[in-house]
């Protein structure tokens, strides 16, 4: 098949959508499909790089980081893709690049398959202060936006339920986004781990909590800092490693100061995507307070790196976190403290939980992801 993937983002390596697109492209090409990417350029010039087509755009950074708006929907590169005549157009974003998908579909008759990656209720306050109005806008726009899609892919049941709640009538298939297990199976040596931990002030017998990802308000990392501060009062062996960058970083660093935990908390800043596994493995327990995830690739990556999970209760990780086996969920501070106490009470439990996390992560291999998406394509051809 000729498959065109449209996406607002492709060049940034710190986004779950980009990771999903790159993994999907790789697996589809392995299966013999011809795949092209249509996305937005990071400047005002359009160009083609191999099978990736970049359309000129301008920054909307004032609205949200990395967001850009195209300057043209009728560029010669788009006409070139119309002449190529794809069999399937797989759109990954509901906004600007979706217009490309609609235009090319109209010109070629290609069916649109759309993956709904983001639950915008957690993000809409960036542009609409009223949460109630924002939620209504999300519901209405999502319904209208997806009308032309022949099929919709949801990464989890949480997203499927949300789409049904919006009134979306399209056929919906649940296909968890895959990750590169090969990357996350690689292990750093015990000596390297100890040396790297020491560089962040983490002793061999310390218990390091770790969070990895974008530092945005929707990730709720401030809650983790507050709960960690409460836990650290009774356990001086606890440390917290926060890996990543984002608009909330300064605010979070100030919160750490006010909580008087700067000697126990380290902000590493951004790390290279090719090295994230090395950072996961510096931790002993992965923690998250986010409820904005549609699937939460970081949960899966953490599991693949052998980390037990302690996360705010959310249906998005129902297939990767199994209560009491490889982690615990919590709903309030006491739940967090109780879960952490259970996890740190026994080295034997931690060791067994690490093995189970690795085992559960196997279901999210990108090979399975590519096959499942291919099956959805077959239903609309």
Residue 269 predicted with pLDDT over 90: yes
Going by their DSSP bridges, the two strands 172-174 and 285-288 should be labelled as unpaired
CA separation for the pair 24, 144 (Å, rounded): 26
The pLDDT of residue 323? 96
Report helix angle 333-344 to 221-232, nearest 10: 60
User: What is the mean pLDDT of the segment spanning 9-27?
Assistant: 83
User: What is the mean pLDDT of the segment spanning 78-93?
Assistant: 97
Locate 179 and state its tokens. 């990750």
CA separation for the pair 85, 3 (Å, rounded): 9
The pLDDT of residue 119? 76
Residue 129 predicted with pLDDT over 60: no
Residue 14 predicted with pLDDT over 80: no
Most confident of 72-81, 222-231, 289-298: 222-231
pLDDT band at 84 (very low <50, low <70, confident <90, very high): very high
- The class (CATH top level) of 181-364 is alpha beta
pLDDT band at 134 (very low <50, low <70, confident <90, very high): low
What pLDDT, in 10s, does the model give residues 322-360?
999 999 999 999 999 999 999 999 999 999 999 999 999
Work out the mean pLDDT of the chain and round it to a whole number.
91
pLDDT band at 147 (very low <50, low <70, confident <90, very high): very high
In DSSP notation, 127-168 reads T-S-HHHHHHHHHHHHHHHGGG-SEEEESSHHHHHHHHHHT-
Q: Do domains 2-178+365-380 and 181-364 have the same CATH topology?
A: yes
| pLDDT > 90: percent of the chain | 73
pLDDT band at 292 (very low <50, low <70, confident <90, very high): confident
pLDDT band at 127 (very low <50, low <70, confident <90, very high): low
Residue 122 predicted with pLDDT over 70: no
What pLDDT, in 10s, does the model give residues 296-305?
788 999 999 9
CA separation for the pair 102, 88 (Å, rounded): 12
Closest-CA residue to 179 (of 354, 303, 280): 303
Helix (H) or strand (E) holding 107: helix 96-108
- DSSP assignment, residue 177? P
Residue with tokens 């439990």: 349
Domain ranges of the chain: 2-178+365-380, 181-364
Residue 128 predicted with pLDDT over 80: no
Between CA 256 and CA 263, with CA 260 as vertex, the angle to 5 degrees is: 80
Q: What kind of fold does domain 2-178+365-380 have according to CATH? A: Rossmann fold (3.40.50)
């Amino acid at each position: 098949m000729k498959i065109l993937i449209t996406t607002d983002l492709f060049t940034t390596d710190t986004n779950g959508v980009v990771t999903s697109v790159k993994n999907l492209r790789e697996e589809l090409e392995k299966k013999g499909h011809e795949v092209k990417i249509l996305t937005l350029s990071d400047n005002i010039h359009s160009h083609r790089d191999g099978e990736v087509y970049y359309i000129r755009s301008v920054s909307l950074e004032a609205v949200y980081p990395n967001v850009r708006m195209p300057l043209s929907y009728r560029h010669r590169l788009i006409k070139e893709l119309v002449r190529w005549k794809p069999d399937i157009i797989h759109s990954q974003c509901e906004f600007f690049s979706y217009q490309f998908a609609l235009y090319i579909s109209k010109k070629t008759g290609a069916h649109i398959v759309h993956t709904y990656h983001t639950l915008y209720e957690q993000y809409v306050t960036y542009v609409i202060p009223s949460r109630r109005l924002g939620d209504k806008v999300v519901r209405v726009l999502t319904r209208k936006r997806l009308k032309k899609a022949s099929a919709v892919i949801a990464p989890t049941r949480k997203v499927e339920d949300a789409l049904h709640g919006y009134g979306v009538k399209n056929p919906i298939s649940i296909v968890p986004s895959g990750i590169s297990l090969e990357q996350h199976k690689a292990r750093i040596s015990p000596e390297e781990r100890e040396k790297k931990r020491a560089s962040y002030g983490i002793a061999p017998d310390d218990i390091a909590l770790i969070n990895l990802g974008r530092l945005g308000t929707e990730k709720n990392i401030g809650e983790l800092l507050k709960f960690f501060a409460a836990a650290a009062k009774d356990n001086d062996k606890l440390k917290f490693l926060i890996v990543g960058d984002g608009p909330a970083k300064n605010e979070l660093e100030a919160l750490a100061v006010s909580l008087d935990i700067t000697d126990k908390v380290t902000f590493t800043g951004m790390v290279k995507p090719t090295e994230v596994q090395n950072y996961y493995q510096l931790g002993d327990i992965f923690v998250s307070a986010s409820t904005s995830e549609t699937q939460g690739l970081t949960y899966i990556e953490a599991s693949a790196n052998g980390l037990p999970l302690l996360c705010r209760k959310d249906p998005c990780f129902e297939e990767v976190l199994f209560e009491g086996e490889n982690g615990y969920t919590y709903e309030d501070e006491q739940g967090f403290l109780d879960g952490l106490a259970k996890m740190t009470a026994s080295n034997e439990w931690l060791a067994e939980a690490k093995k189970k996390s690795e085992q559960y992560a196997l279901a999210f291999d990108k090979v399975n992801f590519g096959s499942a998406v291919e099956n959805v394509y077959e239903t609309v051809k």
